[in-house]
Amino acid sequence: MAKVTFIEASGKQHEVTAQEGQSVMQVAMDNLVPGIVAECGGFANCATCHGYVDDAWLKKIPPPDAAEEGMIECAFHVQPNSRLTCQIKVTPALDGLVVRLPVSQTGE
Protein backbone atom coordinates (compact mmCIF):
# COMPACT_ATOMS: atom_id res chain seq x y z
CA MET A 1 0.00 0.00 0.00
CA ALA A 2 1.03 3.57 -0.54
CA LYS A 3 -0.34 6.94 0.46
CA VAL A 4 -1.12 9.33 -2.35
CA THR A 5 -2.06 12.96 -1.83
CA PHE A 6 -4.12 14.71 -4.48
CA ILE A 7 -4.29 18.49 -4.31
CA GLU A 8 -7.19 20.10 -6.13
CA ALA A 9 -6.67 23.33 -8.05
CA SER A 10 -8.41 25.07 -5.12
CA GLY A 11 -5.75 23.76 -2.74
CA LYS A 12 -7.99 21.20 -1.04
CA GLN A 13 -6.01 18.04 -0.24
CA HIS A 14 -7.11 14.43 -0.29
CA GLU A 15 -4.75 11.85 1.22
CA VAL A 16 -5.84 8.37 0.20
CA THR A 17 -4.53 4.83 0.36
CA ALA A 18 -3.53 3.13 -2.89
CA GLN A 19 -2.99 -0.53 -3.68
CA GLU A 20 0.15 -1.58 -5.52
CA GLY A 21 -0.53 -2.06 -9.23
CA GLN A 22 -3.44 0.37 -9.41
CA SER A 23 -3.09 3.37 -11.66
CA VAL A 24 -2.97 6.73 -9.92
CA MET A 25 -6.12 7.64 -11.88
CA GLN A 26 -7.96 4.60 -10.49
CA VAL A 27 -6.90 5.53 -6.97
CA ALA A 28 -8.48 8.96 -7.45
CA MET A 29 -11.66 7.48 -8.93
CA ASP A 30 -12.01 4.90 -6.14
CA ASN A 31 -11.77 7.67 -3.57
CA LEU A 32 -14.05 10.14 -5.38
CA VAL A 33 -11.32 12.74 -5.68
CA PRO A 34 -12.68 15.70 -7.68
CA GLY A 35 -10.54 16.91 -10.57
CA ILE A 36 -9.82 13.55 -12.20
CA VAL A 37 -12.45 12.92 -14.87
CA ALA A 38 -10.92 9.95 -16.74
CA GLU A 39 -13.40 9.93 -19.61
CA CYS A 40 -11.62 7.16 -21.54
CA GLY A 41 -11.28 4.83 -18.56
CA GLY A 42 -7.51 4.71 -18.59
CA PHE A 43 -6.62 4.14 -22.24
CA ALA A 44 -4.44 7.23 -22.67
CA ASN A 45 -7.04 8.60 -25.03
CA CYS A 46 -8.67 11.60 -23.33
CA ALA A 47 -6.17 13.53 -21.16
CA THR A 48 -8.88 14.20 -18.55
CA CYS A 49 -6.82 12.41 -15.91
CA HIS A 50 -4.09 15.03 -16.30
CA GLY A 51 -2.14 15.79 -13.15
CA TYR A 52 1.07 17.50 -12.11
CA VAL A 53 3.55 15.18 -10.44
CA ASP A 54 5.81 16.93 -7.95
CA ASP A 55 9.36 17.04 -9.26
CA ALA A 56 10.76 14.82 -6.51
CA TRP A 57 8.46 12.04 -7.65
CA LEU A 58 8.95 12.44 -11.39
CA LYS A 59 12.33 10.70 -11.09
CA LYS A 60 10.67 7.65 -9.50
CA ILE A 61 8.23 6.88 -12.30
CA PRO A 62 8.96 5.76 -15.85
CA PRO A 63 8.96 8.55 -18.44
CA PRO A 64 5.89 8.97 -20.64
CA ASP A 65 5.65 6.82 -23.77
CA ALA A 66 4.77 8.28 -27.17
CA ALA A 67 1.02 7.79 -26.67
CA GLU A 68 1.06 9.64 -23.36
CA GLU A 69 3.20 12.44 -24.74
CA GLY A 70 0.77 12.83 -27.64
CA MET A 71 -2.23 13.12 -25.34
CA ILE A 72 -0.51 15.52 -22.95
CA GLU A 73 -0.08 17.87 -25.90
CA CYS A 74 -3.89 17.93 -26.13
CA ALA A 75 -4.42 18.72 -22.45
CA PHE A 76 -5.13 22.17 -21.02
CA HIS A 77 -2.70 24.05 -18.75
CA VAL A 78 0.24 21.77 -19.53
CA GLN A 79 3.38 22.15 -17.44
CA PRO A 80 6.76 20.39 -17.61
CA ASN A 81 5.60 17.99 -14.87
CA SER A 82 2.28 17.14 -16.54
CA ARG A 83 1.42 13.42 -16.71
CA LEU A 84 -1.57 11.23 -17.44
CA THR A 85 -2.35 9.68 -14.08
CA CYS A 86 -3.85 6.61 -15.77
CA GLN A 87 -0.37 5.77 -17.05
CA ILE A 88 1.32 5.84 -13.63
CA LYS A 89 1.25 2.57 -11.70
CA VAL A 90 1.43 2.66 -7.93
CA THR A 91 4.51 0.95 -6.51
CA PRO A 92 5.87 0.90 -2.96
CA ALA A 93 8.43 3.48 -4.11
CA LEU A 94 5.59 5.93 -4.68
CA ASP A 95 4.47 5.95 -1.04
CA GLY A 96 3.87 9.64 -0.32
CA LEU A 97 3.28 10.64 -3.94
CA VAL A 98 1.81 14.11 -4.42
CA VAL A 99 -0.25 14.92 -7.51
CA ARG A 100 -1.71 18.36 -8.13
CA LEU A 101 -4.76 18.70 -10.35
CA PRO A 102 -5.31 21.29 -13.07
CA VAL A 103 -8.10 23.83 -12.87
CA SER A 104 -9.33 22.61 -16.27
CA GLN A 105 -10.77 19.45 -14.70
CA THR A 106 -12.75 21.13 -11.93
CA GLY A 107 -15.93 21.24 -13.99
CA GLU A 108 -16.36 24.94 -13.23
Binding site for ligand FES (CB under 6 A): 25, 38-40, 42, 44-49, 71, 84, 86
Residue 7 or 24 with smaller CB distance to ligand FES: 24
Q: How far is the CB of 44 from ligand FES (least distance, A)?
A: 5
Is residue 68 within 8 Å of residue 87, measured between CB atoms?
A: yes
CA distance 16 to 4: 5
- Residue number of the CB closest to ligand FES reads 86
Residue 11 or 99 with smaller CB distance to ligand FES: 99
CA distance 15 to 90: 14
Residue 11 or 23 with smaller CB distance to ligand FES: 23
* Conformation bin of residue 16: beta by default, left when phi > 0, alpha when psi is -120 to 50: beta
Q: How far is the CB of 60 from ligand FES (least distance, A)?
A: 19
